[in-house]
Structure 1
Amino acid sequence: MTTLEKMARLAVLSRFDSVGPPSGQKIDPAKVSALGRGTRYDLCTSSSTKRRVEGTNGIGDLMRGGLCHTFTGSGRCVSLFKTLYTNACPYDCGYCFNATCSKKSTGIFSYSPQELARITVGLYRTNRIEGLFLSSGIGKGEDETMEEMIETVRLLRVSHHFDGYVHLKILPGSSKEHVREAMEHSDRVSVNLEAPSRSQLAELCPSKNYERDILARQRYVRDLSEKVDLPAGQTTQMVVGAAEESDREIFERLLLEYGVMKLRRVYFSAFSPVPGTVFEDREREQSWREHRLYQVDWLLRVYGLEEKEILAAFDDDGFLRDRDPKVAIAQNTLDSPIDPNSASFDELIRVPGIGPKSARRIALRRKDKRIERMRDLAALGVVVRRAGPFLKIDGKVGTTLDRWI
């Protein structure tokens, strides 16, 4: 992992760049550090892309599983150069350190397209990064800043022949033409929702218009995707716990994002008060809530569970509890323990402790040999401690302790 402090030292020494800076040009390490820190709450957990690199004329590469193969303990990607283009922003988002209403302890910094492209290539060539995650404040205006961000990526692709992964943030209010150009040079684009509804976004950031600035841009990406290839698709992000939204409200927005907007992923970030912001005195959201929302997202997106099934995981107030939502769903949908020797694939994946891979392994195993004990399931990847109460083998149930209470 390359820390921001290391990047700053490399920048001031020009050691990140194989050719060095142009004559007389200095790169401010404070700029590298400040703009890197400014995007620390943007998530880029997955950068999987279907694009393939052909030929040997370019630099950078794309692995089958994507470029994000180095992660923090929380599962967040650290293999991209993750930075703002500028930390100047006229918006008044109460949770954001870069907002015009925040008490910045650092100065206002901006890159030029040539400078940022050269830094990115230099960091790649010294094997410190494998791609670029580029976000930004609005700067002087969304059109001017978006043009410069696009020019940065164009320089990487055309002038530096960079074939590595690029995730480019679409600024709220960007024109449709800018969205199209961003898509043409990137693997993935995103515009952050921040909240599940218009009224909740107004509480977080009164100067943003939910429909005009955010949803309209998501529709641009969706519609343009029919003509412009976007290998890693469109994503978004929501702040959890800053606007008193319920988990049910987030889930309902999730359904719209996947079903209507055709997004590839939705990310969640538990609210954490940042000193110097309007919301600095608000209570921090529990991290488990973010984790439970990711589990619900996984059940919907990967397991293919129906909306009505997943709703069983929410309480009467529309919130998830700090327990595996799949347990609540299983208690609500399974009338009795199931036999892994005869259960269908759809039945198996609804059992806590059994995922798609282990369900397929069970189906393959029982073609040749019956499953006779729980340890047979453990050998197939089943978490038997969690699955046991919902299974029976040869009529025998492992435990019946409060299975459906």
Structure 2
Amino acid sequence: MDDRIIEKLSILADAAKYDVSCSSSGGKRKNENKGLGNAEGMGICHSYTEDGRCVSLLKILLTNHCIYDCAYCITRRSNDVKRAGFTVQEVVDLTINFYRRNYIEGLFLSSGIFKNSDYTMERLVRVAKKLRLEHKFNGYIHLKTIPGASEELIKEAGLYADRLSVNIELPSDNSLQQLAPEKSYAQILQPMKDIKNQLVQATEEKKLFKSAPVFAPAGQSTQLIVGASAENDNQILQLSSSLYKDYNLKRVYYSGYVPVSTDSRLSILTETPVIRENRIYQADWLMRFYGFDAKELLDEQHPNLDLDIDPKLSWALRNPHSFPIELNTADYEMILRVPGIGVKSAKKIVSARRFAQLNFDHLKQMGVVLKRAKYFITCQTRSLNRRDYDMQEIRNRILFGDGSVRSALLTQQLDLFKQVS
């Protein structure tokens, strides 16, 4: 590999690290006709950096030249950074060469927007098309869909890519107008709608014709920047909920804002705490797999997630009228809402209680975290609690341990710290 390519790779791989939506989940592309690579089953393997970024794909930008001037973006037009760009063939060669050396098992390709949306999108599609048709590459390919690109290009992209994604970027159109005035929600949501429609159409065609072409088998996702604008967690979760319902997204990824450069349009210049990003992911998980609605997790009285405890525990503490529940008779949906009980444990409970009455020893064997769950459940009408605790005391005991003296002391210290800060 010559020095020029190495320099480009260094610049464009570094610029791509802020995009976290690079999961390969859902890909099932088989290796056919003695091709190269395989994305069947679980897809590719992943490794992660310390801050949780996925690094298992060849994750690069086609170019970091961009006609837009988004305040939060390192590749924005007005930012003084070193610029570079790959040709279509260079990206294809890098992918094949890195794959043969076992460095990567797939490609995540995005780009700054140069000239216009269609011009950029057409080159991204050409990369995927060359890999699939000329090199018979069957590994995972994730293409970023450029806002404003034509429906025809999006349809073609889905024929060669396993997953497509359009970054919605900010939690509201108002923030987008302030920080990225050349973009709009309408421009971003239209390709999401196009992808959804193509996915529905491809599914229907597959039912009628087995040979019908597959369109983006791993679906579509998006990324949302947390903390670059002033929206609270409630607004973020409400947006995510609507995206899941209206556009059938596989995932919404959340990226804590990193102040990569100064800009007068940015009122927030500090890095978003990792714990906030983590709590939003946990709440997102509850909406997707635990049957929670965004309105249950947060509302106007509670606009932000509690950073000290996870969202499920926070909901349980705010809804004492729902507990305790009897695990031998409660329905599956309610069991899922108990802190300390996950999806697998809930399924085991529902399955096992058909054959025998469950006790706390059974629950422990099933993986239930009793130090959390014990405050919210009974088994055969028995409880592990020595007495009834109010919700604030349950919170303290879970946070600081069961020792009431230590719990009370730490609570007082925490309250004092909050008053001082």
TM range (shorter): 0.7 to 0.9
Aligned ranges 1:387-402 → 2 under 5 Å: 387-399=373-385, 400-402=388-390
Inter-partner Cα distance in structure 2 for 1:306 and 1:115: 46
Counterpart mapping for 1:128-147 below 5 A: 128-147=103-122
Q: Are 1:349 and 2:336 counterparts?
A: yes
Whichever residue aligns with residue 389 of structure 2, its letter is L
Deviations 1:283-305 (A, max 9, x none): 22121111111111111111122
The equivalent of 1:81 in structure 2 is 58
* Residue 293 of structure 1: aligned partner: 280
The 2-side partners of 1:31 and 1:277 are apart by 26
**Residues 1:124 and 1:55: Cα distance change in structure 2 (over 3 Å):** same
Determine helix, strand or coil for the equivalent of 2:16.
Answer: coil
Please give the residue correspondences for 1:327-366 in structure 2 after superposition, counting only pairs within 5 Å: 327-333=313-319, 334-366=321-353
Per the TM alignment, residue 332 of structure 1 is displaced from its structure 2 partner at its CA by 4.0
2:261 aligns with 275
Tell me, in whole angstroms, the C-alpha distance in 1 between the residues paired with 2:301 and 2:267.
30
Q: Decide whether the 8 Å contact of 1:315 with 1:321 is kept in 2.
A: no
Task: Determine whether 1:220 maps to 2:208.
Answer: no
Q: How large is the Cα RMSD of the aligned pairs?
A: 2.1
Q: Which residue of 2 aligns with 1:124?
A: 99
Aligned to 1:15: none
- Residues 32-80 of structure 1 deviation map (CA, whole Å, 9 limit, x = unaligned): 0100011111013531125331534211112412214333344432211
Residues 274 and 280, structure 1, Cα contact 8 Å, conserved in 2: no
Partner of 2:367: 381
Instruction: Using structure 1 for the length normalisation, give the TM-score.
Output: 0.87
* Match of residue 250, structure 1, among 236, 249, 266: 236
Which residue matches 2:167? 192
Distance in 1 separating the partners of 2:40 and 2:267: 41
Instruction: Report which stretch shifted further, 202-211 or 156-165.
Output: 202-211
Higher helix share: 2
**What SS does structure 2 have at the residue aligned with 1:133?**
strand
Contact 1:169–1:191 under 8 Å retained in 2: yes
Taking the aligned partners of 1:124 and 1:310, their CA distance within structure 2 comes to 43
Q: Cα–Cα, structure 1 residues 280 and 318, in superposed 2: closer, same or farther, change >3 Å?
A: closer
- Residue 90 (structure 1) aligns with: 67
Which residue pairs with 1:210 in the alignment?
A: 185
Does residue 41 of the first structure (1) align with residue 18 of the second (2)?
yes
State which of 305, 311, 325 in structure 2 corresponds to 1:320: 305
Instruction: Letter of the 2:292 partner, please give it.
Output: L
- For 1:307 and 1:198, the matched residues in 2 are separated by 20
Question: In 1, Cα distance between the equivalents of 2:343 and 2:160?
Answer: 34
Cα deviation, residue 276, structure 1 = 5.8
Determine the structure 1 residue equivalent to 2:391: 403
DSSP 3-state at the match of 2:17: coil
State the TM-score, normalized to the length of structure 2.
0.84
Offset at residue 361 of structure 1 (A)? 1.1
Query: What CA deviation, in whole Å up to 9, does each residue of 1:145-186 have, x standing for no partner?
Result: 211111111111011110011110011211111111111110
Deviation of the 1:381 alpha carbon:
1.4
The separation in 2 between residues aligned to 1:55 and 1:272, in whole angstroms, is 42
> Contact conserved, 1:273 with 1:280, CA < 8 A, in 2?
no
User: SS where residue 168 of structure 1 aligns?
Assistant: strand
Contact 1:154/1:185, CA 8 A, preserved across alignment? yes
What SS does the corresponding residue of 1:93 show, helix, strand or coil?
Answer: coil
Aligned-pair CA distance for 1:337: 1.1
Q: Are the structure 2 counterparts of residues 277 and 135 from structure 1 closer, same or farther at C-alpha, using a change threshold of 3 Å?
A: farther
1:177 aligns with 2:145: no
Give the whole-Å Cα distance in 2 for the aligned partners of 1:386 and 1:65: 32
| Total equivalences in the alignment | 376
- Contact 1:68-1:79 at 8 Å conserved across structures: yes
CA distance in 2, matches of 1:397, 1:73: 40
**Distance in 1 (alpha carbons) for counterparts of 2:177 and 2:302:** 22
